[in-house]
Amino acid sequence: MVEESKYKGHIPVLLDEVIENFDPKPNQNFVDCTLGGGGHSLAIIKLTGPSGKALGIDLDEQAVEVAKLKVKNEKLEVDRLIVVKGNFRDLKNIVHQNNFENISGILLDLGFSSMEMDDSEKGLSFRYDAPLDMRFGEEGIMAGEVINNFKEKELEDIFRTYGEERFSGRIARIICEVRKEKPIRTTFELVEAIRKVIPGKFQHGRIHFATKVFQALRIFVNQELDNLKIVLPQAIDLLLPGGRLVVISFHSLEDRIVKEFFKRESRDCICPKEMPICQCDHKAKLKILNKKPIIPKEGEAKINPRSRSAKLRVAVRL
């Protein structure tokens, strides 16, 4: 049994900005691809009565159960929030299986929720000593398997590619040395291994010295960047004309993918610049509504430090 009180610390990021850009109207339907604590979805369905609906998707069973509890406690009609345990990379299938139509907005909040962050069994945070799992769901390879079984060069590539970690080589090397003596099974053991090769002046900055390695492992284990590339075209196809796609990213790798996708889908031609004559039949599907990403106001960043790196981009379906 999941208790909602356990997750009351979850604060939806950029909630006011999401609502402002969706501008929900009565009886409109929306999809929340990353349900989390349900904060965005509940705010939306409160504005889309009497019959507007939201379809919420999340890999985390606890998030799904908490969202259902919140709907009940808010005394909202249960059938107005359809909650599905699944991966948003399967967005089209999930939408069709639930006969969810006439979609006016789709939200992708790519951050993991506070309940996932604080889950002692996930190992997503180096603040808690936990098994090296890091999976959002129950499928796929665990971070501990990566740390203990991948070759040094493979680890280095993961840390550099997905974490943009400047010390990726020496971190991969020390991990391989440490695991020869004993497998690295917990978050604290991984942090201590990393600490051994990070210069002292980099161990006391504003960002924890293990942050980028943990980010890299989480992204790799959950295939986050691949899933994002897969879901974005599906979202466009599912939106009604005039419908809006809102994406909140939390690091440069995600934001770059969203920015480039929006830019490409807002052009009539995607031929290479060196090609003198257009040879494609690509037509613009999106209009970008904010050239620069929307970031949290100072007040929100103080209340919810996890929102500091959030960037929101919006596009409308043509």
Q: How many domains does the chain have?
A: 2
CB 110 within 8 A of CB 232: no
pLDDT tens for each residue of 117-142: 665 567 888 888 999 999 988 888 99
Give the pTM.
Answer: 0.92
Write the burial class of residue 168 (CB in 10 Å: 0-12 exposed, 13-18 middle, 19+ buried).
buried
CATH number at residue 217: 1.10.150.170
Q: What is the pLDDT of residue 114?
A: 58
Q: Please, what is the end-to-end C-alpha distance for the chain in angstroms? A: 44
- Which residue type sits at 149? N
Query: What is the spatial distance between Cα 181 and Cα 309, in angstroms, rounded to a whole number?
Result: 38
Counting residues of the chain whose pLDDT is more than 90, the rounded percentage is: 71
State the DSSP H helix or E strand holding residue 32, giving kind and residue range, or none if neither. strand 29-32
Check whether residue 216 and residue 278 sit in a common domain: no
User: Which of 222, 246, 262 is the last residue before a domain boundary?
Assistant: 222
Q: Which of 130, 10, 126 is nearest to 63 (CA)?
A: 10
Boundaries of domain holding 179? 121-222
Asked which of 222, 245, 277 is the last residue of a domain, the reply is 222
Of 194, 222, 250, the position where a domain reaches its end is: 222
The 10s digit of each residue's pLDDT in 173-231 is 999 999 999 999 999 999 999 999 999 888 888 889 999 999 999 999 999 999 999 99
On whether both 217 and 244 belong to a single domain, the answer is no
pLDDT at 119: 58
pLDDT at residue 3 above 70? no
Residues 13-62 have pLDDT tens digits of: 999 999 999 999 999 999 999 998 899 999 999 999 999 999 999 998 88
